[in-house]
């Protein structure tokens, strides 16, 4: 690192690279998309051998020194939206929501409204700034098309306490999912690091730690065998982006309805997203210390899918 927000990189002889600057940087910076890197280049945030470079097609050579500056994100102007919330638990410190499919958790450029954060600001006007301006109160996230329980902190103290529980792995997060296939054993653990996909930057993939992957551990158990499908319980030990979806697909049992990591074939049931539901949250209350358990009822399309598969499997 150099000045705050700047990273020094060097092109060495061991790099298996193309010569284009944007491609080389995307191979080094796994947490940044290639389009983001191209934008940083065009905006004058990259120097090659101390010379400003604004061309993404510029070539790099062995021994070149690259300085990449990542400016701080511009805070979004987030407005409150009156969106109905399915509340599983609420008090002065903690809120647990049953998130429906299709609801994005927090705003992003190009998607400033209609998110869970917009709805939370309308429901509870004290959230602003807790855990960051762009993600007020959000302790963890769920994918847009994953349903179920998500916890929200109402105070800074609650936010820090809940974050610490996730890091210490004392908060229990369990998911129910329907997968293609039927595992030979009834339970198991997937311990495979996850990082950004090296080609498709919108996807995640099993990635060695030395290439930027982060430790990811998922425990699973077969709850019901449904012919060529299975309903499985997943328990997260870590919380990487798309973790269950990537892990289950990697071991050969992708989530039904997952258009990114799944098989993409129809099962004859109209699903609102992938058949993955954050079913149960168990945590220590950040103020009282008492055990809080929240169970999110399964959505109608998930129940329909299971019933259809039961009938087919006899």
Catalytic residues: 143
Per the CB < 8 A criterion, the answer to whether 217 and 190 are in contact is: yes
- DSSP string computed for 26-89: HHH-TTS-HHHHHHHHHTT-EEETTEE---TT-B--TT-EEEEE-PPPPPP----------EEE
Burial class (CB in 10 A: 0-12, 13-18, 19+), 268: exposed
* Conformational region of residue 5, where left means phi above 0, alpha means psi within -120 to 50, and beta covers everything else: left
């Amino acid at each position: 690192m150099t000045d705050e927000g700047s990273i020094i990189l060097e092109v060495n002889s061991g790099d298996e690279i193309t010569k284009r600057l944007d491609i080389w940087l995307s191979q080094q910076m796994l947490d940044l998309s290639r389009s983001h890197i191209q934008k940083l280049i065009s905006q004058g945030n990259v120097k090659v051998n101390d010379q400003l470079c604004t061309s993404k097609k510029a070539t790099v050579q062995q021994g070149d020194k690259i300085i990449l500056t990542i400016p701080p994100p511009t805070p979004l102007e987030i407005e409150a939206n009156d969106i109905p919330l399915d509340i599983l638990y609420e008090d002065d410190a903690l809120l647990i929501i049953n998130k429906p499919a299709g609801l994005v958790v927090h705003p992003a450029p190009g998607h400033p409204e209609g998110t869970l954060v917009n709805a939370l600001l309308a429901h509870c006007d004290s959230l602003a700034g807790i855990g960051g301006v762009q993600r007020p109160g959000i302790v963890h996230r769920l994918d847009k098309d994953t349903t179920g329980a998500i916890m929200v902190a109402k105070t800074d103290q609650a936010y820090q306490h809940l974050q610490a529980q996730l890091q210490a792995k004392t908060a229990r997060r369990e998911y129910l999912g329907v997968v293609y296939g039927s595992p030979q054993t009834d339970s198991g653990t997937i311990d495979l690091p996850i990082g950004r996909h090296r080609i498709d930057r919108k996807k995640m993939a099993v990635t060695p730690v030395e290439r930027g992957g982060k430790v990811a551990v998922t425990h699973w158990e077969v709850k019901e065998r449904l012919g060529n499908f299975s309903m499985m319980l997943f328990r997260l030990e870590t919380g990487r982006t798309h973790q269950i979806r990537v892990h289950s697909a990697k071991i050969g049992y992708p989530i039904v309805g997952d258009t990114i990591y799944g098989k993409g074939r129809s099962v004859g049931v109209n699903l609102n997203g992938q058949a993955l539901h954050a079913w149960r949250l168990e945590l220590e209350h950040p103020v009282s210390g008492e055990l809080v358990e929240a169970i999110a009822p399964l959505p109608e399309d998930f129940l329909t899918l299971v019933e259809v598969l039961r009938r087919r499997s006899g």
